[in-house]
Amino acid sequence: MPILELSPGDQTVTVSGDTPLLDVYAALPAGLYPPFPPVELPGGVGGLVSRGGFGQNFFFAAEILGLTFISPSGRRIVAGGRTVKNVQGYDLTRPFVGSFGALGTAETVTLRLRPGLSMRHVASPGTLETLPGAARFVWQDGPSIHQMHFGPAREVDRALSGVFGGTEVTGSVDLRHFFPEGVGVGTGGHLRDLRMNRLGQSWINGGEVPPVPALFARLAANL
Amino acid sequence: MPILELSPGDQTVTVSGDTPLLDVYAALPAGLYPPFPPVELPGGVGGLVSRGGFGQNFFFAAEILGLTFISPSGRRIVAGGRTVKNVQGYDLTRPFVGSFGALGTAETVTLRLRPGLSMRHVASPGTLETLPGAARFVWQDGPSIHQMHFGPAREVDRALSGVFGGTEVTGSVDLRHFFPEGVGVGTGGHLRDLRMNRLGQSWINGGEVPPVPALFARLAANL
């Protein structure tokens, strides 16, 4: 039972780390969105959190309200919560998000849900080299270029306002075939993320992860 | 120069840790709010962040976009940032918020700003014992009870909807005289915070801080 607790009133959902991303979509009432687009990726929600998100145009870590994870030494660590009620911090949620496994593996994740997010996905003939566009995600699949943007409706409209022609793709997409050996960060990948473009990087097949800063290696060794 | 960088477009402001809370209000354009009410407290913004906020009715840690702090061993640590652009995490912002000094002292803090927040503050004759009310903050000052609520307008209306009579207090308030020896958490204080009420606690004069969990004592010792 991967959906552990759904609270539409509080706009939160708690899921097990191995929950597929599209299972989260399937469990939500209409009009309430998780902090990722309807795309399936390897590793489910836990993998997504470990990689610092995918396809969002907001501060992803702030949408992760809490999680439990198993540390490198095997401890179960409870980080964060679902309410504004705690004064005291000591919350390891944010260091964990985007830690690419260095701090351990997510066991359960509590996501903030938002109303009224929007997604646009257009496929058109072409290659990555000829692409204009301000869409957050672009990828090549055979002879087609896919452009996808997810977020507040106005921002989505703006990001894809220069796209004419092509086919509007509705519904969810499974991108796992790009990543048979897992999702990593590197150069020359099929899937470009505007966040990484300035570094010449993209999401690539394989487990290549960014280097761990010394401070966090010390932290990980003490968890 | 305690206001280091104000970006109304990005809705962020970066200040030095010792910036008085009301100096932040004075620096902002009309209609843009920091994540705290217009109240002065000891320790300025750095003290507020260290104590996990004051008077807010939202998840305070998510409003702190980044900070630099001096760790117990004297290292300067950069935590978080101001943008959605980073994939990689390893962000110590959230553990620091509400750590009551255990992880060190804030040097600079970047706050998220929000439009359209609201505050209502009513003073009426009475004592804490006779108070109904769902206001987040209540305190006794001489023969008067003060009730204050800060947040989205509808929530403020609801929280003080049972308050009739009394004097509407507009403008900022200096509460530092309650805390000549610093702000702590304990029992029997003058200033009740609904977040702590269930534990029978309130904000008190003096430096009493909640106990540090063992995990964070280890973390602090390694920073």
* Mean pLDDT calculated for residue range B54-59: 81
Least reliable range by pLDDT among A56-70, A119-133, B21-35: A119-133
Only one residue has tokens 């660590």, namely: A77
pLDDT band at B87 (very low <50, low <70, confident <90, very high): low
User: Does residue A30 sit at the B interface (CB-CB below 8 Å)?
Assistant: no
Cα gap A126→A108, rounded to integer Å: 40
CB-nearest partner of B91 from A56, A61, A223: A61
Residue B136 with chain A: CB contacts under 8 Å: none
Residue A68 dihedral angles phi and psi, to the nearest 5°: -115, 140
Only one residue has tokens 């970066």, namely: B14
* Mean pLDDT calculated for residue range B192-208: 81
CB B144 within 8 A of CB B126: yes
CB A55 within 8 A of CB B63: no
- ipTM confidence score: 0.72
Cα gap A71→A146, rounded to integer Å: 37
* Mean pLDDT calculated for residue range B116-132: 82
CB-nearest partner of A99 from B77, B90, B219: B90
Cα gap A52→A48, rounded to integer Å: 6
pLDDT at A133: 64
Residue A219 with chain B: CB contacts under 8 Å: 219, 222
pLDDT at B83: 55
User: Does residue B98 sit at the A interface (CB-CB below 8 Å)?
Assistant: yes
State what percent of residues in chain B have pLDDT above 90. 46
CA distances from B214 to A90, B208, B211 (A): 11, 18, 9
User: Does residue A58 sit at the B interface (CB-CB below 8 Å)?
Assistant: yes
CB–CB of B93 and A89 under 8 A? Answer: no
* Mean pLDDT calculated for residue range B209-223: 86
Residue B87 with chain A: CB contacts under 8 Å: 51-53, 98, 185, 193, 195-196, 210
Task: Using CA coordinates, name the residue in chain B closest to A103.
Answer: B90
User: Does residue A154 sit at the B interface (CB-CB below 8 Å)?
Assistant: no
CB–CB of B89 and A94 under 8 A? Answer: yes
CB–CB of B86 and A52 under 8 A? Answer: yes
CB–CB of B99 and A90 under 8 A? Answer: yes
Q: Class assignment of domain A3-114?
A: alpha beta
pLDDT at A142: 85
* Mean pLDDT calculated for residue range B36-43: 94
Among B10, B58, B88, B193, most A C-beta atoms within 10 A, so best to mutate, is: B88
Cα gap A28→A89, rounded to integer Å: 29
User: Dihedral of CA A42/A46/A50/A54: which sign?
Assistant: positive
A185 strand-pairing partners: A203
CB within 8 Å of A177: residues ≥ 6 apart: none
Task: Give the CA angle between residues A76, A78, A83 to the nearest 5°.
Answer: 165
* Mean pLDDT calculated for residue range A63-68: 92
CB–CB of B87 and A52 under 8 A? Answer: yes
Q: What are A68-116's pLDDT values in tens digits?
A: 999 999 999 988 875 545 667 778 898 999 999 999 999 999 999 999 8
Residue B25 dihedral angles phi and psi, to the nearest 5°: -55, -45
Cα gap B42→B184, rounded to integer Å: 11
* Mean pLDDT calculated for residue range A17-21: 97
Cα gap B203→B187, rounded to integer Å: 8
Residue A96 dihedral angles phi and psi, to the nearest 5°: -70, -40
pLDDT band at B161 (very low <50, low <70, confident <90, very high): confident
pLDDT at B39: 94
Cα gap B163→A147, rounded to integer Å: 53
pLDDT band at B74 (very low <50, low <70, confident <90, very high): very high
Task: Using CA coordinates, name the residue in chain B closest to A53.
Answer: B87
| pLDDT higher than threshold 90 for residue B164 | no
> How far does the CA of residue B73 sit from the closest CA of chain A (Å)?
13
Task: Give the CA angle between residues A139, A143, A148 to the nearest 5°.
Answer: 30
pLDDT band at B131 (very low <50, low <70, confident <90, very high): low
CB–CB of A80 and B94 under 8 A? Answer: yes
Cα gap A69→A93, rounded to integer Å: 9
pTM of this structure: 0.82
Domain ranges of chain B: 3-114, 116-205
* Mean pLDDT calculated for residue range B59-64: 86
A window 186-205, beta carbon within 8 A of B: 193, 195-196, 198
Least reliable range by pLDDT among A26-40, B12-26, B209-223: B209-223
Sheet holding B191-193, edge to edge: B167-168, B117-125, B144-152, B137-141, B191-193, B202-205, B183-186
Closest by CA position to B115, among listed B206, B31, B194: B31
CB-nearest partner of A89 from B99, B198, B218: B99
CB-nearest partner of B218 from A53, A56, A222: A222
Residue B59 with chain A: CB contacts under 8 Å: 65, 83-84
Residue B94 with chain A: CB contacts under 8 Å: 61, 80, 89, 91-95
pLDDT at A1: 55
Q: Which of A108-122, A180-194, B190-204 has the highest mean pLDDT?
A: A108-122
What length does chain A have?
Answer: 223
CB B50 within 8 A of CB B99: yes
Least reliable range by pLDDT among B23-32, B127-136, B170-179: B127-136
- Residue A155 half-sphere exposure, CB side, CA atoms within 13 Å? 14
pLDDT at B112: 93
CB-nearest partner of A210 from B83, B88, B102: B88
CB A223 within 8 A of CB A102: no
Residue A193 with chain B: CB contacts under 8 Å: 87
Least reliable range by pLDDT among A64-78, B20-34, B118-132: B118-132
pLDDT at B28: 95
Only one residue has tokens 């994939």, namely: B87
Taking 3-state DSSP, the helix, strand and coil percentages for chain B, each rounded to the nearest 5, stand at 20, 35, 45
> How far does the CA of residue B209 sit from the closest CA of chain A (Å)?
9
Cα gap B35→A137, rounded to integer Å: 32
Q: Which of A43-47, A149-153, B83-87 has the highest mean pLDDT?
A: A43-47
Cα gap A215→B45, rounded to integer Å: 25
